[in-house]
């Protein structure tokens, strides 16, 4: 693999850009609100330390050692492992499509927020879904929004330009797409802390409610948030690890990535909690990032200042920054899907990237239709929760049971000095703790696939089951289409 990041900083920026996304800014605060604030934070931090960081290090080290994307990395662990790697890449492609759709929504909301702030008649909590998307409750496609369609097209053009530039273009774009949203979250947090009841909001966020700690649903959502937020088991970190400079200290870089990701999640939670409490909307916060972004935040933004023009400007900045977050994460997901394809079929990046983006962009147009809300809710649940849990379990078993996987701590610590990943922590976490905890906690959640999801069967099939089927069959499709290349054992 010829491409490389110019430095350790480039790897960290690109990885933070992949990790820091809408899951941090919207989903994480909603889960904190739903599961007792400090209780969720406590479990999340424990999962980050004992599960997320060891697996993050393993993926980056494996990528650097093999110098290839997820399919070839997984193939070094066990026979037929490339199929698991291709499933991870396919899942990343579907996630990129979802992110691009949400980025189109956010960009559309940035256009609409100023007139919304100036209007006294429109209901800000329902405006986007009712007046822009005209979203139907049953998921039936009966129209398309020209504004959202144009916004999605702009998003894909930008993502294609980043993807064509390769590793260094992705890390360079992260300087803008990471720091601008963080600056906006800091501004909203500062304003939120000025509300008279900000101490009540912070208490709700940080003080644990231990009456909820026995909930399996709380634990699996906290673990799922760690894996989803750090972009684990979806092929990103092996691809970025393959671009690492040889003498990079993987362990210290991974710690920076993990704690930067957690810090942005906490910052976003402070921004949301103080703002909605200050505006009296604390009972409207949902664990769904979609509801938070398009129902709660517009109403909260209107109450930030007395001057509607200033509120509108803040709204534009906020939604534009969220768009940047979604775009950067989407680019990272596309890179995870594209780089193995370039390796396997010896294609040129500058030609393959536009083709991939054009295909994905057409699929993404469903998020500009009246079925958009239902499509996002179902596909996000299947792709970014159920699929990620399954892929994490499979990857941990492959790493823990193979000789090559058990030897990765030596690669992780190869250029470390005093700060090293403990071998015992790695082995216990990856081989035993992670798969055991995930299997135990995920079982009740997976029963909801058959009796607990409030959507029509046809919508679950179209937006959920079909996507998951394509993800897990991707490896068989690719290995059938491409002549297998020899895999170097590590």
Domains of the chain, with CATH numbers?
A: 8-481 (1.20.1740.10)
Q: How would residue 399 be classed by pLDDT, with cut points 50, 70 and 90?
A: very high
Q: How would residue 334 be classed by pLDDT, with cut points 50, 70 and 90?
A: very high
- pLDDT, mean of residues 367-379: 91
Longest dimension (CA), the chain: 66
Helix ranges (DSSP H) in 67-145: 70-75, 81-118, 127
Q: Backbone phi, then psi, for 416, in 5-degree steps? A: -80, 155
DSSP conformational letter for 282: G
- pLDDT, mean of residues 435-457: 82
In 3D, which of 322, 207, 327, 319 has the Cα closest to residue 273? 207
Task: Identify the weakest region by mean pLDDT among 13-17, 96-100, 133-137, 486-490.
Answer: 486-490
Percent of the chain with pLDDT over 70: 93
pLDDT at 403 over 60: yes
pLDDT at 140 over 60: yes
- pLDDT, mean of residues 115-134: 76
Tokens of 160: 């294609």
Better-predicted residue by pLDDT, 19 or 97: 97
Better-predicted residue by pLDDT, 490 or 311: 311
Q: How would residue 199 be classed by pLDDT, with cut points 50, 70 and 90?
A: very high
Round to whole Å and give the CA distance between 152 and 104.
Answer: 4
Residue whose token pair is 């054009």: 358
Contact 147, 108 (CB under 8 A): yes
Contact 116, 122 (CB under 8 A): yes
Burial 140-166 (b: 16+ CB within 10 A, else e): eeeebbebbbebbeebbebbbebbbbb
Q: What is the pLDDT of residue 473?
A: 95
Give, in order, the Cα–Cα distances in Å from 465 to each of 222, 254, 397.
24, 34, 24
Q: What is the pLDDT of residue 183?
A: 87
Q: How would residue 105 be classed by pLDDT, with cut points 50, 70 and 90?
A: very high
Q: What is the pLDDT of residue 212?
A: 79
- pLDDT, mean of residues 65-73: 91
pLDDT at 307 over 90: no
> Mind giving me the DSSP string for 126-164?
THIIIIIS---SS-----B-HHHHHHHHHHHHHHHHHHH
Q: What is the pLDDT of residue 2?
A: 52
Contact 201, 192 (CB under 8 A): yes
Render pLDDT for 229-238 as a digit per residue (tens, 0 to 9). 888 999 889 9
Render pLDDT for 219-232 as a digit per residue (tens, 0 to 9). 888 888 898 888 89
* Angle at which helices 308-345 and 146-192 cross, to 10°: 120
Q: What is the pLDDT of residue 485?
A: 55
Q: How would residue 120 be classed by pLDDT, with cut points 50, 70 and 90?
A: low
Q: How would residue 126 be classed by pLDDT, with cut points 50, 70 and 90?
A: confident
Percent of the chain with pLDDT over 90: 36
Q: Backbone phi, then psi, for 307, in 5-degree steps? A: -85, 120
Using DSSP's 3-state secondary structure scheme, residue 37 falls into strand
- pLDDT, mean of residues 329-333: 88
- pLDDT, mean of residues 467-477: 92
Q: What is the pLDDT of residue 3?
A: 64
- pLDDT, mean of residues 50-68: 92
């Amino acid at each position: 693999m010829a491409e490389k990041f110019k430095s350790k900083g480039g790897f960290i920026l690109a990885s933070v850009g992949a990790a820091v996304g809408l899951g941090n800014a919207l989903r994480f605060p909603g889960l904190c609100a739903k599961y007792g604030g400090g209780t969720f934070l406590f479990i999340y931090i424990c999962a980050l330390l004992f599960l997320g960081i060891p697996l993050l290090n393993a993926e980056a080290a494996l990528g650097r050692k093999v110098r290839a994307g997820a399919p070839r990395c997984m193939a070094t662990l066990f026979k037929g492992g490339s199929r698991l790697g291709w499933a991870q890449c396919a899942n990343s492609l579907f996630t990129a499509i979802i992110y691009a759709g949400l980025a189109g929504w956010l960009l559309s909301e940035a256009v609409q927020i100023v007139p919304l702030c100036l209007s006294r008649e429109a209901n800000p909590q329902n405006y986007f879904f009712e007046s822009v998307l005209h979203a139907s409750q049953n998921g039936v496609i009966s129209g398309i929004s020209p504004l959202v369609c144009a916004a999605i097209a702009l998003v894909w053009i930008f993502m294609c330009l980043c993807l064509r530039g390769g590793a260094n273009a992705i890390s360079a774009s992260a300087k803008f797409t990471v720091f601008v949203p963080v600056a906006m979250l800091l501004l909203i947090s500062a304003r939120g802390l000025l509300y008279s009841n900000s101490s009540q909001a912070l208490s709700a966020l940080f003080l644990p409610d231990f009456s909820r700690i026995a909930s399996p649903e709380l634990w699996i959502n906290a673990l799922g948030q760690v894996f989803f937020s750090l972009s684990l088991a979806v092929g990103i970190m092996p691809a970025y690890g393959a671009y690492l400079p040889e003498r990079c200290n993987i362990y210290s870089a991974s710690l920076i990535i993990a704690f930067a990701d957690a810090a942005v999640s906490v910052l976003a939670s402070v921004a949301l909690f103080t703002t909605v409490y200050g505006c009296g909307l604390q009972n409207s916060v949902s664990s769904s990032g979609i509801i938070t972004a398009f129902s709660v935040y517009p109403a909260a933004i209107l109450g930030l200042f007395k001057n509607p023009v200033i509120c509108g400007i803040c709204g534009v900045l906020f939604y534009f920054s969220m768009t940047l977050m979604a775009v950067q994460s989407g680019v990272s997901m596309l890179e995870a899907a594209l780089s193995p394809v370039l390796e396997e079929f010896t294609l040129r990046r500058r030609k393959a990237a536009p083709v991939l983006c054009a295909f994905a962009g057409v699929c993404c147009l469903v998020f500009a239709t009246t079925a958009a809300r239902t499509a996002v809710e179902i596909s996000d649940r299947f792709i970014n929760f159920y699929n990620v849990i399954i892929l994490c379990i499979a990857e941990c078993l492959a790493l823990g049971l193979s000789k090559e996987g058990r030897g990765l701590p030596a690669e992780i610590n190869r250029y470390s000095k005093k700060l090293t990943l403990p071998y015992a922590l790695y082995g216990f976490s990856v081989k035993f703790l992670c798969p055991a905890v995930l299997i135990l906690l995920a079982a009740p959640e997976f029963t909801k696939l058959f009796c607990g999801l409030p959507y029509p069967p046809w919508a679950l099939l179209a937006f959920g089951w079909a996507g998951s089927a394509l993800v897990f069959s991707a490896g068989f499709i690719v290995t059938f289409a491409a002549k297998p290349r020899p895999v170097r054992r590590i």
